[in-house]
Copies of this chain bind each other. A is one copy, B any other.
Amino acid sequence: MTVKVAVAGATGYAGGELLRLLLAHPDVEIGALTAASSAGTPLGALQPQLAPLADRVVAETSAETLGGHDVVFLALPHGHSGAIAEQLGPDVLVVDMGADHRLTAAADWQHWYGGDHAGAWPYGLPELPGARDRLRATTRVAVPGCFPTGGSLALAPAVASDLVAPDVTIVSVTGTSGAGKSLKPHLLGAEVMGNVSAYGVAGAHRHTPEFVQNLSAAAGRQVTVSFTPVLAPMPRGILTTASAPLTGDADAVRGVYEAAYADEPFVRVLPEGQWPTTAATVGSNTVQLQVSVDEQAGRLVVVAAIDNLTKGTAGGAVQSMNIALGLDETTGLPTTGVAP
């Protein structure tokens, strides 16, 4: 089986990583590559790492250029996916790597993003309870935000099993590709190298409601989330440290996590004493997890590492595509990182 795939937003970081994965996917034929301002440029000038696609010319993003494909990935600024998806018809698998269809509550959307809510689509984090089933045979997928990918998997088993109180603290340290290619002064190399800073502090980051949604669903009750993202001088990777007051049995913790992820091909609970590093996940669809109990502070502490562009965006998108198309979920997805 070969599916023909189009990528809208092929010139950004998410689009580039997606194409790297699709080039290695045995069941995919890469069709239209589209973008906004750089339409007409050979892809090689914008994504020089994608040597096999260097001579492909970028087309304009439109229903016309994206039409006629089996699968369309949308890596667009928020607010643009709904209209395009409608024009593509219900039979095309549309995988939205943007934010438009992640939040289930219209009020949340309006509060955090503004404008009309485009509605929620099946959520592309198959490792969350129930999520995989909703992805099977769907033709619409909402890929999670990069922070909620690692952070939700870090805490879901604990809140689902009442190991902790529903009041969690998450600090996620991210590489700068998470901000995309937007030309902002604080993203210049001279600014980010040798520098660590926090942003979107105190509940101001738009991924906060997504955390609340995921963890509350897993817990079966409302979970309070204090989320702080931190920018670190590296291109890729997110290291999440998450903690919550321990209410269950400390001795049960490891078993709960190992059981939760025993059958997951992309989540690895590390052996005791080994801690996740983002480098080990670079270019890989793997989540590395470690869990521990701080007895003095009475808290469960979980650390999770992912590549924000792979498992955190493009890899999660391909994994969801595989499920939706009925392919083996792991097809074309690397589980080895490029390190050092």
- Give A residues with C-beta under 8 Å from B: 13, 16, 19-20, 23-24, 42, 44-45, 47-52, 54, 167, 169, 171, 173, 175-177, 179, 181, 183-185, 187-199, 201-203, 208, 224-228, 230, 232-237, 239, 241, 243, 268, 270-271, 274-284, 286, 288, 290, 292-299, 301, 303, 305, 334-340
Which residues on B sit within 8 Å (CB–CB) of A194?
A: 175, 193-194, 234-237, 278-279, 282, 340
A211 vs chain B, min Cβ distance (A): 10
Given A194-B282, A196-B277, A224-B298; 16 other pairs, CB 8 A cutoff? A42-B271, A51-B286, A173-B173, A173-B230, A189-B189, A189-B193, A193-B233, A194-B340, A195-B340, A197-B276, A197-B278, A198-B239, A198-B241, A199-B275, A202-B299, A208-B296
**Chain B CB within 10 A, most for which of A13, A225, A234, A276:** A234
Which residues on B sit within 8 Å (CB–CB) of A228?
A: 171, 241, 243, 301, 303
Chain copies in complex:
4
Q: CA of A44 to CA of B270 in the docked complex: distance in angstroms?
A: 9
The 5 A-B residue pairs with the shortest CB-CB distance in the complex, in nearest-first order: A49-B337, A189-B192, A195-B279, A202-B292, A226-B297
Q: Is the CB of B44 within 8 A of A301?
A: no
Q: Is the CB of A49 within 8 A of B338?
A: yes
Which residues on B sit within 8 Å (CB–CB) of A237?
A: 194-196
